[in-house]
């Protein structure tokens, strides 16, 4: 049984390599001296000086119990032995980085590892000068400062955000490759606890007129990201979020405020939101016409395809792992934009037999669910795959089913069953049936 | 004679009960008000400055115009670096191109992904104005005047064989332009359940 991949080994081609921790004799010595002097000089005058600068890491001793560790600090850091990193796609013209799914546990994505997708870079917005304007078909056009937004009753929700294009690398044969990590295949997926004000509350405040059926959400980035959203979604579960995992939203995720539409394609959840305009009809922006639409084999293109269908991915074992004989805990994530995951099934023989995986509670609606399945690897070749079933009865389709329903050329919303082939040597490679 | 006694006992029980119930601490949920009164009214000027979007009916288009000829020189200066000398070379989005007979093979052929040109895949001409005005050019978004945007839009429509070389694009003419892909788009019909769509 192999250990989980650490740091740079999990990244392929254009990724940003994590710098390996370097412990020279000098830093080890400095760390030891620092720790000892902190212990010896542990008095009021010495403390502030110690907490300001970077805290030197003490060396890893055979017996850590023989040396006092470092004193409390204002801001915590990861263990010097842990280096999870997003994989930055240098090919994308204006910004994309993927969450390292294979290096994460549970369901929550640390905020600094949340995937990024932006079309005009990450803007710098002064929260003191931030406003959200709501106008159009409303009784009272209003503008809210960030402080105004925070005065309203807060709502929190744990849910996933997935880029509409996530997973096309597991469908399109033109780009598919065996040497593909979970982050390369499906890393435009992350889960956070989001906190903010319910958009329905703001709409009540502004007095949305009954004829208003759509609203435009506009970002303040250089791309002026704009999408039309049905008012129905606002009244259902939309949030203007200003916090992520207990702290202010990260700049890459929309600081100081973003639109959150649980279960819907990432592109609609406009970051750095500055304006909402209510109208009778959709606005037909560039993103919702010429970009985030899904051409079908019958010569039409599907538009306003908001909801992310149910999907799952085994995150361990995965490329570039090697499994050894004996017990192996297969684990991964399943999620659906239409509600809760009802069941995840796992096969270890290429789809002849499927078994129900164990779901880790709590199973939340429109949220990632961690699953696991015990497998005794007897050696030889094996094909591991998972399929998600959501509470609407939707079953994650095979590639052949999806291609039959939509065609070979479509690009977004690719949720077909994907998995891993274990070779005779125990080496694991990305694999899609059909 | 027994009836008044019975009534009296019953009354006492009821009163005592009422007193006890009244003594229980009452926990009520706070009532959400109709309005909180937070935020400030947006002025007409606030809205005028922010409301830059343009819709297919032409709403939002400024009263101005531009020509194909003006657009050609502007394109060379401000757009060709990213989109190529003739709009077909890239390195970024290919803007110019028409498939023979306006065939719409995007769903069938993965190689069509790069062919989502204005002539092949954009359903509304007004979207061009909306997008170019706010988000282009990439190195200086929002820096083009309305005359410049109309001109670039006119040039791109001309290059995609949608309008003639002498076309003038304006708030009056742009919403009337019919795009080759205008009738290709349908609303999402997925709804969960057993059917894969």
Q: Which of residues 154-193 of A touch B (CB under 8 A)?
A: 172-174
Cβ distance A330 to A373 under 8 Å?
yes
Cα angle: A114, vertex A198, A238; to 5 degrees: 60
Query: What domains lie within chain A, and their CATH numbers?
Result: 21-66 (no CATH), 87-302 (3.90.420.10), 311-431 (2.60.40.650)
Which helix (H) or strand (E) element contains residue A30?
Answer: helix A25-40
CB contact under 8 A, A397 and B141: no
Which tokens in the block code for residue A245?
Answer: 């995992």
Q: Does residue A413 surpass a pLDDT of 90?
A: yes
Q: Which of residues 26-85 of A touch B (CB under 8 A)?
A: none
pLDDT score of B22: 59
Query: What domains lie within chain B, and their CATH numbers?
Result: 48-176 (1.10.760.10)
Backbone angles phi, psi at A274, to 5 degrees: -120, -20
What DSSP line would sit under A38-89, residue for residue?
Answer: HHHT-STTHHHHHHHSPPPPPP--SSGGGS--PPP-SS----TT-----EE-
Confidence category of residue A30, pLDDT binned at 50, 70, 90: very low
Residues A57-75 have pLDDT tens digits of: 667 888 989 889 889 999 9
Q: Which member of B111, B135, B181 has the closest CB to residue A222?
A: B135
| Nearby residues of A79 by Cβ (< 8 Å), 6 or more positions away | none
pLDDT in tens, chain B (197 residues): 456 666 666 666 665 555 555 566 677 777 889 999 999 999 999 999 999 999 999 999 999 999 999 999 999 999 999 999 999 998 999 999 999 988 999 999 998 988 999 999 999 999 999 999 999 999 999 999 999 999 999 999 999 999 999 999 999 999 999 999 999 999 999 999 999 99
CA–CA distances in Å: residue A275 to residues A209, A211, A258: 17, 19, 11
A91 touches chain B (CB under 8 A): no
Confidence category of residue A292, pLDDT binned at 50, 70, 90: very high
pLDDT score of A210: 97
| Nearby residues of A181 by Cβ (< 8 Å), 6 or more positions away | A10, A11, A12, A87, A102, A187, A318, A319, A320
Confidence category of residue A23, pLDDT binned at 50, 70, 90: very low
| Count of beta carbons in the 10 Å neighbourhood of residue B36 | 16
Enter the pTM of the model. Answer: 0.87
CB contact under 8 A, A133 and B56: no
Q: Does residue A328 surpass a pLDDT of 70?
A: yes
pLDDT score of A10: 32
Backbone angles phi, psi at A56, to 5 degrees: -70, 135
| Nearby residues of A381 by Cβ (< 8 Å), 6 or more positions away | A421, A422, A423, A424
What does the pLDDT average to over A319-344?
98
CB contact under 8 A, B105 and A306: no
Which tokens in the block code for residue B168?
Answer: 């003038």
pLDDT score of A21: 40
Confidence category of residue A409, pLDDT binned at 50, 70, 90: very high
CB contact under 8 A, A142 and B36: no
| More confident call, A56 vs A86 | A86
| Nearby residues of B49 by Cβ (< 8 Å), 6 or more positions away | none
Cβ distance A340 to A364 under 8 Å?
yes
Cβ distance A51 to A26 under 8 Å?
no
Q: Which of residues 111-130 of B touch A (CB under 8 A)?
A: 111-113, 116, 118, 121-124, 126-127, 130
- As a whole number of angstroms, the distance between CA B134 and CA B153 comes to 13
- With CA atoms as reference, the chain A residue closest to B124 would be A284
- Taking contacts as CB-CB distances below 8 angstroms, the residues of chain A near B116 are 290-291
Which tokens in the block code for residue B121?
Answer: 């895949």
Q: Does residue A28 surpass a pLDDT of 60?
A: no
- With CA atoms as reference, the chain A residue closest to B36 would be A205
Residues A84-102 have pLDDT tens digits of: 999 998 876 668 999 999 9
Q: Does residue A254 surpass a pLDDT of 70?
A: yes
Residues A165-219 have pLDDT tens digits of: 999 999 998 889 999 999 999 999 999 999 999 999 999 999 999 999 999 999 9
SS3 A403: helix
- Taking contacts as CB-CB distances below 8 angstroms, the residues of chain B near A141 are 41-42, 46-47
The C-alpha of A318 sits at a distance from chain B's nearest C-alpha, in angstroms, of 27
| More confident call, A157 vs A32 | A157
pLDDT score of B13: 60
pLDDT score of B42: 98
pLDDT score of B24: 61
Q: Does residue A284 surpass a pLDDT of 50?
A: yes
Which tokens in the block code for residue B28?
Answer: 């009520």
pLDDT score of B29: 75
| Count of beta carbons in the 10 Å neighbourhood of residue A104 | 22
A343 touches chain B (CB under 8 A): no
CB contact under 8 A, B112 and A152: no
CB contact under 8 A, A281 and B55: yes
Cα angle: B125, vertex B127, B129; to 5 degrees: 85
Q: Does residue A428 surpass a pLDDT of 90?
A: yes
pLDDT score of A92: 63
Q: Going edge to edge, which strands form the sheet with A301-303?
A: A294-295, A301-303, B185-187
- Taking contacts as CB-CB distances below 8 angstroms, the residues of chain B near A93 are 92
CB contact under 8 A, B111 and A174: yes
């Amino acid at each position: 049984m192999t250990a989980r991949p650490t740091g740079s080994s999990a990244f392929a081609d254009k990724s940003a390599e994590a710098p390996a921790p370097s412990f020279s004799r000098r830093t080890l010595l400095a760390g030891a001296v620092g720790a000892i002097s902190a212990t010896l000089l542990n008095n009021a005058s010495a403390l502030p000086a110690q907490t300001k600068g970077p805290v030197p890491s003490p060396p890893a001793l055979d017996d850590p119990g023989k040396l006092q560790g470092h004193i409390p600090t204002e801001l915590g850091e990861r263990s010097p032995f842990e280096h999870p990193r997003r994989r930055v796609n240098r090919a994308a013209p204006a910004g994309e980085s993927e969450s390292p799914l294979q290096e994460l546990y549970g369901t929550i994505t640390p905020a600094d590892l949340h995937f990024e997708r932006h079309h005009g870079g990450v803007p710098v917005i002064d929260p003191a000068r931030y406003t959200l304007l709501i106008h159009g078909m409303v009784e009272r056009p209003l503008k809210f400062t960030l402080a105004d937004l925070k005065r309203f009753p807060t709502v929190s929700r744990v849910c996933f955000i997935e880029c509409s294009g996530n997973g096309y690398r597991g469908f399109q044969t033109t780009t598919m490759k065996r040497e593909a990590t979970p982050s390369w295949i499906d890393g435009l997926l992350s889960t956070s606890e989001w906190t903010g004000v319910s958009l329905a509350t703001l709409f009540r405040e502004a007095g949305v007129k009954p004829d208003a059926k759509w609203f435009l959400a506009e970002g303040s980035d250089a791309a002026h990201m704009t999408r039309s959203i049905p008012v129905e979604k606002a009244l259902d579960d939309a949030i203007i979020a200003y916090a992520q995992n207990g702290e202010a939203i990260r700049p890459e995720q929309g600081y100081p405020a973003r639109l959150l539409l649980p279960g819907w394609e990432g592109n609609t959840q406009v970051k750095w939101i500055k304006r909402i305009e209510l109208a009778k009809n959709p606005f037909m922006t560039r993103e919702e016409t010429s970009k985030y639409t899904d051409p079908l084999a019958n010569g039409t293109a599907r538009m306003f395809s908001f909801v992310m269908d149910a999907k799952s991915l085994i995150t361990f074992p995965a490329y570039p792992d090697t499994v050894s004989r004996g017990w192996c805990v297969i684990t991964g994530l399943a999620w659906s934009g239409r509600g809760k995951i009802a069941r995840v099934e796992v096969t270890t023989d290429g789809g002849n037999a499927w078994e129900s995986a164990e779901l880790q509670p709590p199973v939340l609606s429109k949220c990632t669910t961690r699953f696991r399945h015990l497998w005794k690897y007897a050696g030889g070749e094996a094909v591991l795959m998972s399929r998600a079933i959501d509470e609407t009865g939707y079953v994650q389709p095979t590639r052949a089913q999806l291609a039959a329903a939509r065609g070979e050329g479509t690009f977004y919303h690719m949720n077909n069953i994907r998995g891993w082939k274990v070779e005779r040597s125990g080496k694991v490679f990305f694999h899609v049936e059909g | 004679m027994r009836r008044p006694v019975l009534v009296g006992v019953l009354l006492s029980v009821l009163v005592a009960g009422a007193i006890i119930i009244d003594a229980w601490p009452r926990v009520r949920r706070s009532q959400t008000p109709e309005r909180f009164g937070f935020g400030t009214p947006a002025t007409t000027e606030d809205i005028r400055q922010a409301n830059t979007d343009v819709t297919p009916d032409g709403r939002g288009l400024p009263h101005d115009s531009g020509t194909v000829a003006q657009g050609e020189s502007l394109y060379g200066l401000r757009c060709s670096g990213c989109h190529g000398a003739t709009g077909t070379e890239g390195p970024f989005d290919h803007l110019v191109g028409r498939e023979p007979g306006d065939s719409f093979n995007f769903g069938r052929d993965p190689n069509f992904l790069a062919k989502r040109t204005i002539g092949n895949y954009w359903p509304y001409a007004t979207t061009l104005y909306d997008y170019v005005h706010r988000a282009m050019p990439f190195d200086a978004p929002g820096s083009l005047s309305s005359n410049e945007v109309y001109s670039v839009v006119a040039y791109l429509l001309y290059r995609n064989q949608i309008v003639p070389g002498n076309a003038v694009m304006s708030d009056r003419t742009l919403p009337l332009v019919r795009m080759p892909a205008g009738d290709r788009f349908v609303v999402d019909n997925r709804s969960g359940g057993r059917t894969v769509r």
